[in-house]
Amino acid sequence: MRRLSRKKTLNLMKELDAFPKVPESYVETSASGGTVSLIAFTTIAFLTIMEFMVYQDTWMKYEYEVDKDFTSKLRINIDITVAMRCQYVGADVLDLAETMVASADGLIYEPVPFELTPQQKELQRMLQIIQSRLQEEHSLQDVIFKSAFKSASTALPPREDNSLQSPDACRIHGHLYVNKVAGNFHITVGKAIPHPRGHAHLAALVSHESYNFSHRIDHLSFGELIPGIINPLDGTEKIASDHNQMFQYFITVVPTKLHTYKISAETHQFSVTERERVINHAAGSHGVSGIFMKYDISSLMVTVTEEHMPFWQFLVRLCGIIGGIFSTTGILHGFGRFVAEIIFCRFRLGSYKSTSVPLPDGHTSNHLPLITDNSTH
């Protein structure tokens, strides 16, 4: 009984076989079929390698939502070199809430030469090339996000020369914490002092001829400092053509949450437009000489997540490639053979010429004679 039951089960499984095996003696091979098979296998191998490369790659997914965090502080990371001595310039922030944040709360004034060393010039030139490429190819930003990690660095390398060149510039670097409202970070002549109606700078003691707001922005970012991320103003250098020159940067800051396979951080992206002009009260161009960065906070928050193709999706795509190529090449090969047979068949029929066969009653027949086995002998 058990053997009978096993036989029935085995026969049932054979009936369910969706892949019937044809004996090799019944299969006819041809040179054309071998050529098509070779082309199919080569195409499958090439597309499989390409699909595996796609599977290894990742992409950035962007999601947008309203930023509901209004109480936390915004961090501004600054590294700017101004072509004036440190005792002549002052930096601070004044926001729309009329809150003044002095540079003494987190910025360092360091006397340095304004001229860069060859190694520093090379890094600055590289940053400027990247900035120009970013303006043309926005997808390059995804590459920067994926390559960023906390041990990387985009800061200028330290000076390797020990020259006796006297410092003629002031490097202002560090960070400040401000309210998450629109504000104005500026560097101008004289140190900042508090004022009941705002604030003021002690500029009366500084000679007008010593004004020089040529500057270099080595780094400017908002939020958590992530080395490896290149910001829009990194590597910017401006040379003043007049003593009374005003440089303005209008910045829109977008809160950003970055989640990659290397880091997870809360930072801020920003876009910027620039403007510069010479202060000339007689010509109607009013203002104060200096560097002004007016920033505004966007109400939208962007979440950037690095994603990877699931393994099951990779298998489905791989099966589709293999099965699709086999089916397509089989159809093309069958269609090619069908066309070839039609062409060769017509060619053979055209090789036979019509002949006249006499009939017993004196008539003739123009039909092709019947070819039999006896007629061939």
* Structural domain boundaries in the chain: 31-59+309-325, 68-298
HSE-CB of 293 using CA atoms within 13 angstroms: 21
Q: What is the pLDDT of residue 220?
A: 92
Q: What angle do CA 174, 178, 179 make, to 5 degrees?
A: 165
Residue with tokens 């599977």: 55
**Rounded Cα–Cα distance for residues 315 and 47 (Å):** 13
Reference 175, options 104, 85, 268; nearest CA is 104
Q: What is the pLDDT of residue 192?
A: 74
How far lies 349's CA from each of 29, 84, 275, in Å? 26, 99, 85
Reference 265, options 297, 312, 235, 305; nearest CA is 305
- Angle (deg, nearest 10), helices 311-351 and 31-56: 160
Q: What is the pLDDT of residue 162?
A: 56
Strand, coil or helix: 99 = coil
Reference 80, options 209, 221, 207; nearest CA is 221
Instruction: Name the H helices within the chain.
Output: 2-15, 31-56, 118-136, 140-147, 311-351
Q: What is the pLDDT of residue 357?
A: 52
Q: What secondary structure letter does DSSP report for 364? A: E
Residue with tokens 């010593």: 210
Q: List, as own/partner pairs, every contact residues 163-168 make where C-beta atoms lie below 8 angstroms and the sequence separation is at least 24, other chains included.
A: 163/113, 165/113, 165/115, 166/113, 167/85, 167/111, 167/112, 167/113, 168/83, 168/85, 168/113, 168/114
**Rounded Cα–Cα distance for residues 284 and 240 (Å):** 20
Dihedrals φ, ψ of 357, to 5°? Answer: -110, 120
**Within the chain, which residues score under 70 in pLDDT?**
1-4, 16-30, 98, 102-104, 138-140, 142, 146-165, 194-198, 204, 346-377
Q: What is the pLDDT of residue 377?
A: 42
**Rounded Cα–Cα distance for residues 367 and 365 (Å):** 6
Dihedrals φ, ψ of 325, to 5°? Answer: -70, -40
In one-letter notation, the amino acid at residue 348 is R
Sequence-ordered list of residues with C-beta below 8 angstroms from that of 365, at least 6 positions apart, any chain = 356, 357, 359
Residue with tokens 């001595």: 85
